[in-house]
Amino acid sequence: MIKLRIIFFLLFAASHTTYAQLSTQEIAILKINMVKAVEDSKLTDSLFNKLSKLPNKTALITGYTGTLEALKAKHSWNPYNKIRYVSRSLKTMQKAIDMDEENMEIRFMRFSIEFYTPSFLGFSKDLAKDKKEIVKHYQNESFGLADRELVKNVAKFMIDSKKCSPAEVKILTKHL
């Protein structure tokens, strides 16, 4: 019986270390650096290279990688590369969502990428779907591992985006 418990513990520990590439503290630092990367192409490249090397990426890490691909598009001067990076970014974001459809943070990352991408390029096809999912999380108050600050910032962004109906704004406003 004790051997069986030890085997289960080792299997559980091994599965979590295989997928937990970044500690909670490292993810908090990553989030801070992601904000800085919006204006810093070297930081964008550095973060992208670090995350790309991680094996067995979690859905959230895959989402961050997709966001960094979008930032590479922002920082690129070449129109062809911009389109290529955005296209790649949205494929990566879809992969992250397929891995964890209920993750509000991933949905928000894709929403913000599509929001800032010019609509005439045809890359903004999931805005309404992601908005609906994000608002659902606020309505049900189910934020997963998202911290209070993220919940507040997402609500503010969604309201400021002018993509929400008055009823949706009312739901989001409760969390400011």
Give the DSSP H/E element, type plus range, for residue 44. helix 41-52
**Terminal C-alpha separation, the chain:** 51
Read off the tokens for 112: 């913000």
Please list the pLDDT of the chain residue by residue as tens digits (176 residues).
443 333 333 333 333 333 447 888 998 899 999 999 999 999 999 999 999 999 999 999 999 999 999 999 999 999 999 999 999 999 999 999 999 999 999 999 999 999 999 988 999 999 999 999 999 999 999 988 788 999 999 999 999 999 999 999 999 999 99
Q: How many other CB atoms are there within 10 angstroms of residue 174's CB atom?
A: 10
The sign of the CA dihedral 137, 138, 141, 146 is positive
For residue 78, what pLDDT is reported?
96
Question: Helix, strand or coil for residue 122?
Answer: coil
Q: List the helix and strand counts (H, then E) for the chain.
A: 9, 0
